[in-house]
C-alpha cells in the first residue's frame, strides 16, 4: 500500500468513527472557531482539573480533514497537562509546515500531517488545534 493510501485510510477512519465527538457539561471551557475560507465550524470543549485535560470533546461541521484532526487532537490531549497539550499543538504546527517534529506515541497525527501540505488543507487541519490553543490561553 502506498503511504498516501495509508494516510487517507487513517483520516477516513477518524472521520467516520470520530473519537470524542459530543458535548460536555456546563463547567467545561468552550471555544468555537470557524474556517473563514469555507465557513466550517468546530466547538471544542475541555474539562481541566489540576492543570490537566481531564476530558476533551468536539462538535461542529467540517470537512474530513478538519473533523479527523479534531478527533485525533482530542485523543492526543486526554490526560496531558496544559503545557504538554500546548507543546503538542506546536509540534503539529511544525509537522504541517513540513518542519521536523515527532509524535512519538501518536502515528495517526503524522499521517494527517502527511496529506495536509497544501495551504487550504493546513487551515482545515489546524482548526481544532487553534481552538485548543485558545482554550489553553484562557486558562493561563
Ligand atoms: Fe474542501 Fe475542506 S472540503 S477544503
Ligand atoms: Fe472547511 Fe476544511 S473545508 S475546514
Q: Is the pLDDT of residue 24 over 70?
A: yes
Reply yes or no on whether the pLDDT at 1 is more than 60: no
Mean pLDDT, residues 23-50: 92
**Are the C-beta atoms of residues 40 and 95 closer than 8 Å to each other?**
no
Pocket test for ligand 2, best of 60, 65, 125 (most atoms within 8 A of CB): 65
Using the CB atoms, write b or e for 96-124: b if 16+ within 10 Å. Answer: beeeebebeebebbbbbbbbbeeeebbbb
CA torsion angle for 68, 95, 87, 33 (degrees, to 10)?
Answer: -40
CA 114 / ligand 2 centre spacing (Å): 17
> What is the domain extent for residue 78?
3-139
Strand 29-34 and strand 41-49: the pairing is antiparallel
Query: Taking a C-beta distance cutoff of 8 angstroms, is the pair 107, 75 a contact?
Result: no
Percent of the chain with pLDDT over 90: 58
Predicted confidence at residue 3, as pLDDT, reads 67
Hey, which bits of the chain come out as E strands?
Answer: 29-34, 41-49, 52-61
Q: Predicted ipTM?
A: 0.65
Ligand 2, atom 2, residue with closest C-alpha = 124
**Angle in degrees, CA 41, 120, 93, rounded to 5:** 85
* CATH number of residue 102's parent domain: 3.90.1010.10
3-state secondary structure of 98: coil
* 50: Cβ contacts below 8 Å, ≥ 6 apart: none
| Over residues 43-56, mean pLDDT | 95
Best-predicted range by mean pLDDT (85-89, 116-120, 123-127, 131-135): 131-135
Specify burial of residue 126 (Cβ count, 10 A radius: 0-12, 13-18, 19+): buried
Does residue 124's CB lie within 6 angstroms of at least one atom of ligand 1? yes
Q: What is the pLDDT of residues 67-121, one digit of tens each?
A: 999 999 999 999 999 999 999 998 888 888 878 776 666 777 777 776 666 677 8
Confidence of residue 60 (pLDDT cuts 50, 70, 90): very high
3-state SS class at 86: helix
pLDDT of res. 98: 78
Number of domains in the chain: 1
pLDDT in the model for residue 11: 87
Ligand 2 atom index nearest CA of 65: 2
CA of 84 to the centre of ligand 1 (A): 30
Amino acid at each position: 500500500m502506498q503511504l498516501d493510501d495509508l494516510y487517507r485510510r487513517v483520516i477516513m477512519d477518524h472521520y467516520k468513527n470520530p473519537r470524542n465527538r459530543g458535548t460536555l457539561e456546563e463547567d467545561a471551557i468552550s471555544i468555537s472557531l470557524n474556517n473563514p475560507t469555507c465557513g466550517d465550524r468546530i466547538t471544542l470543549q475541555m474539562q481541566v482539573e489540576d492543570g490537566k485535560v481531564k476530558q476533551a470533546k468536539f462538535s461542529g461541521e467540517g470537512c474530513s480533514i478538519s473533523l479527523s484532526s479534531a478527533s485525533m487532537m482530542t485523543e492526543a490531549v486526554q490526560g496531558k497537562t496544559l503545557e504538554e497539550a500546548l507543546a503538542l499543538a506546536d509540534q503539529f504546527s511544525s509537522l504541517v509546515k513540513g518542519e521536523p517534529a515527532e509524535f512519538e506515541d501518536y502515528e495517526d497525527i503524522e499521517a494527517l500531517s502527511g496529506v495536509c501540505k497544501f495551504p487550504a488543507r493546513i487551515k482545515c487541519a489546524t482548526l481544532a488545534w487553534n481552538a485548543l490553543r485558545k482554550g489553553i490561553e484562557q486558562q493561563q
